[in-house]
Amino acid sequence: MNKTFLKNLLQAPSPSGYEECATKIVKDYLEECGVKYEFTDKVGNAAFSVGNGSTVIMLSAHIDEIGLQVQHIDDKGFVHFIEDGGTDAKVLPGSTVAIHTAKGIVNGVIGKTPIHIEYYTDNKDKAIKVKDMKIDIGAETKEEANKLISIGDPITICDIPLELGTNRFAGRGLDDKVGVYVMAEVMKQLKNLNLQNVKVYGVACTQEETSASGAVGAASKISPQYSIDYDVTFATDDEYVSPNEWGDIKLGKGGAIAHGVDSNRKLTRLMKEVCETNKIPYQEFSVGSGGTDTVHIKQSSEDCDTLLLSIPNRNMHTQVEVCDYRDLESLIRMTVSAIIRINNGI
């Protein structure tokens, strides 16, 4: 595991539509590893390649994270905001935030009514709506706040990635920077192989949390014959999520192969075969169409076999998502093995 690269990636701000800091980290890392940089397009996708064969494979994961965005500054200097992606409003009060301005970072906190007072009101058991929240940046007037921030500035929750035990880690934005990490490490390993029959593109896709514009643009431009998209799925071993509904998915038991209309059956069979042949741990679950970039890649490519591979994730869309290093390793191993098979004619 390259924990330094992963930590740098997780710490980089990348609210949907504002992913430049994170894509630069991926670009610098892969170029340092000798992987060819192909392009950055107008929606911010960063694409890389290995091999020069005629069969085109696209590996992708979305690099954007859920966030917030400055909407209004009131007369007292408080900052009001909207969601940038599917933010869980229930976990926002009490958070520290960073507002990313043209001049640098402005720190702030999302406050709430003290529980001493709230307990005696009708709101004591109710979630606060985003429209009723505000950020305190220490400004005393609107004029003072306007000198520091601007309407439209993106906002991220402040946190430091945490090691949990021996194999697990927590933080914000694991959805889906862990997928980007897998993509980058696969590309790094493929660089050292003699791939004569395939050309593999690795893409850090933007804007999945808001529009999937990144995946649509990348797939349209690259037009792959095979696509493997990495995203997170719900771990169901913490009693918060039902395995009856979402599958029996555990942290640390391997990457998850998704079955459904967005995953080509030939590719799911291939992935299971390479896992069983090479003794790579894996899990399986079923999922309906949509919810990830995979469906958009399928619809935006001329004729492509698509596959969704998933990383088990606890507490999704909070600032304390949890993943397991062993699941990332299994996805890297199975992807490299599958690409070797495709290069050799399956």
Q: Provide the pLDDT for residue 66.
A: 97
Give the residues across from 285 on adjacent strands: 258
Is 208 known to be catalytic? Answer: yes
DSSP designation for 89:
G
Q: Provide the pLDDT for residue 49.
A: 98
Q: How many residues does the chain have?
A: 346
Q: Provide the pLDDT for residue 277.
A: 97
Q: Determine how β-strand 282-286 pairs with β-strand 255-259.
A: parallel
% the chain with pLDDT above 70 = 100
Q: Provide the pLDDT for residue 122.
A: 77
Question: Which domains are delineated in the chain?
Answer: 3-65+172-343 (3.40.630.10), 68-157 (2.40.30.40)
d(CA 175, CA 63): 8
Q: Provide the pLDDT for residue 242.
A: 97
The list of the chain residues with pLDDT below 70 reads none
Q: Provide the pLDDT for residue 82.
A: 98
DSSP designation for 314:
B
Q: Provide the pLDDT for residue 125.
A: 81
Q: Provide the pLDDT for residue 117.
A: 87
Active-site annotation holder among 65, 83, 208, 329: 208
Q: Provide the pLDDT for residue 346.
A: 76
How many Cα neighbours within 13 Å face the side chain of 27?
Answer: 15
Calculate ∠ Cα 42-9-309, nearest 5°. 80
DSSP 95-143: -EEEEEETTEEEEEEE----HHHHTTSTTTTSPPPGGG--EE-S-SSHH
Contact 72, 213 (CB under 8 A): no
Q: Provide the pLDDT for residue 40.
A: 98
Q: Provide the pLDDT for residue 234.
A: 98
Q: The tokens 């080509």 sit on which residue?
A: 264
Q: Provide the pLDDT for residue 121.
A: 83
d(CA 3, CA 16): 24
